[in-house]
Amino acid sequence: MTYLWLALAFVVASAVAGVAFARGAGRRHWQATGIAFAALAVLTAVFDSVMIGMELFHYDSQHLLGASIGLAPVEDFAYPLAGVLALPGLWAWMTRRRRTLDGGHPTTPHADAKAGSTDGLTGLLPQAFVASRPISWINTAYPFAAAMLLTTREVDWVLIVGTFYFLVPYNLAMYGINDVFDYASDLKNPRKGGIEGALLAPRLHRPMLWLAAVTNVPFLVVLAAAGGPASWLPLLVSAFAVVAYSAAGLRFKERPVLDSITSSTHFVSPAVVGLAIAGATVTPGLVILLAAFFMWGMAAHAFGAVQDIEPDRQADIASIATVFGARRTVRTAVVLWLLAGLAMLATPWSGPLAALIAIPYIVNCARWWNVTDTTAARTNVAWRRFIWLNYGSGFLVTLILILQWSLTS
């Protein structure tokens, strides 16, 4: 039965994507889809049987329904079905975009080629790359990889796939969605357009959201399948936090305190997902460690929001910093980092070593203990230092994890 569920997950995902992409493509699109599937089904019945007969691959029979056409198990027909549902839709969407640019008139191949350079998707991939904040990729992939590796003690395919997911697609979704829905405030913020985020052209907003969806959903399905039911809640929370942070309607980033909590979830949830997939045992030490990490993340978010107080207020965007004010926010961040460090002292050896890592953050931030709302923008200096501080901390955390590894193996 397992193959059926796996196939259903992928077919449903591709059907949803296909229908969304093909919206407005007309009746003929679906007629052609039907013809293509009929032909593919015949080809599948013939060639799948030949390939299975030639022993190119086989199946674990306990995962199959048992019904087959020729030698091909019925579940195999899900492959051409998913392909024919999703791919023509994506094709119709991409080619339609360029046609509407020519006013809907049938185009000559020459005009078609010329439209290609100015069509609606030009620059999407470079923008997506910048939007995903490559400098911060490691911040989400590392917690996942470290948590999983330390639990399973081996590099398997789930570790590789999951690390890649939290390295790129996850960040593309998180920051891409953010840049789409923050366009208004980013316009007023001179800081945007570099390593701290792209200023995303409105014509790329919808494509960016689609790109985030199609690059994330397959990975989430695969990780959920690999991790089993224990991983579903952490994956759900993780994906929800990514969307809820900035998407219209939810906008957790505009709900003071909830904004810091959600932001921290972005960094802690990959670790929880890693632990869940690896089947880690929940110990008090592990819970304290995750709590300390969570406080560290909340402090990082709160402190980062201080520099944006002015542009955020101008754009009527609330954050923990616009509501608390610069001074109280900075002090809250210092206290949270302090608590995170103290919490690490309560973890089993070699965890207490990590308490030292809190110190540079506290020093970097405490300088702004008496900051005012008018001088808040200057904390950008400390924020830039913070980005590099994270690399240093990552190095120290790695050393501690190696020590931990050698102590426990």
CB of 183 to another protein, least distance (A): 24
The CA dihedral of 37, 39, 41, 46, to the nearest 10 degrees, is -160
Backbone Cα Rg of the chain: 25
Of 211-219, 306-314, 319-327, 392-400, the segment contacting another protein by CB under 8 A is 211-219
Longest dimension (CA), the chain: 77
CB of 98 to another protein, least distance (A): 7
CB of 71 to another protein, least distance (A): 12
Should residue 103 be labelled a site residue for another protein when binding is judged by CB under 8 A? no
Taking phi first (over 0 means left), then psi (-120 to 50 degrees means alpha), and beta for anything else, what does residue 228 get?
left
How many Å apart are CA 184 and CA 331, to the nearest integer? 29
- Looking at 8, 12, 23, 35, which residue binds another protein (CB under 8 A)? 35
Should residue 84 be labelled a site residue for another protein when binding is judged by CB under 8 A? yes
CB of 41 to another protein, least distance (A): 11
Should residue 104 be labelled a site residue for another protein when binding is judged by CB under 8 A? yes
Should residue 116 be labelled a site residue for another protein when binding is judged by CB under 8 A? yes
Nearer to another protein, 5 or 395 (CB): 5
Should residue 66 be labelled a site residue for another protein when binding is judged by CB under 8 A? no
How many Å apart are CA 168 and CA 166, to the nearest integer? 6
Should residue 28 be labelled a site residue for another protein when binding is judged by CB under 8 A? yes
Contacts made by residues 251-256, CB under 8 angstroms, sequence distance 24+: 251/181, 253/178, 253/317, 253/319, 254/317, 254/318, 254/319, 255/318, 256/318, 256/319, 256/320, 256/322, 256/323, 256/324
Should residue 54 be labelled a site residue for another protein when binding is judged by CB under 8 A? yes
Nearer to another protein, 14 or 329 (CB): 14
User: How far are the Cα atoms of 13, 92, 399 from residue 86, in angstroms, in the given order?
Assistant: 9, 10, 45
CB 350 within 8 A of CB 404: yes
Helix 169-181 crosses helix 229-246 at what angle (to 10 degrees)?
30
Q: Which parts of 145-204 interact with another protein (CB under 8 A)?
A: 157-158, 161
Nearer to another protein, 156 or 316 (CB): 156
Helix 27-53 crosses helix 78-101 at what angle (to 10 degrees)?
140
Should residue 99 be labelled a site residue for another protein when binding is judged by CB under 8 A? yes
Should residue 226 be labelled a site residue for another protein when binding is judged by CB under 8 A? yes
Name every residue whose Cβ is closer than 8 Å to that of residue 215 and which is 6 or more positions away in sequence.
Answer: 168, 169, 172, 173
CB of 233 to another protein, least distance (A): 19
CB 320 within 8 A of CB 256: yes
Count residues binding another protein (CB under 8 A): 59
Nearer to another protein, 7 or 344 (CB): 7
- Looking at 10, 170, 245, 267, which residue binds another protein (CB under 8 A)? 10
Nearer to another protein, 83 or 360 (CB): 83
Of 47-55, 146-154, 248-256, 320-328, the segment contacting another protein by CB under 8 A is 47-55
Should residue 41 be labelled a site residue for another protein when binding is judged by CB under 8 A? no
Q: Which two tokens stand for residue 340?
A: 């995170």
Beta bridge partners of 46: none
CB of 198 to another protein, least distance (A): 20
**E strand intervals along 165-309:** none
Should residue 26 be labelled a site residue for another protein when binding is judged by CB under 8 A? yes
The helix or strand, by DSSP H or E, that contains position 183, with its residue range, turns out to be helix 183-187
Which stretches of the chain bind another protein, using CB under 8 A? 2-3, 6, 10, 14, 26, 28-29, 31-33, 35-36, 39-40, 43, 51, 54-60, 63-64, 79-80, 82-84, 86-88, 90-91, 94-96, 98-99, 104-109, 112, 116, 157-158, 161, 214, 218-219, 221-222, 225-226
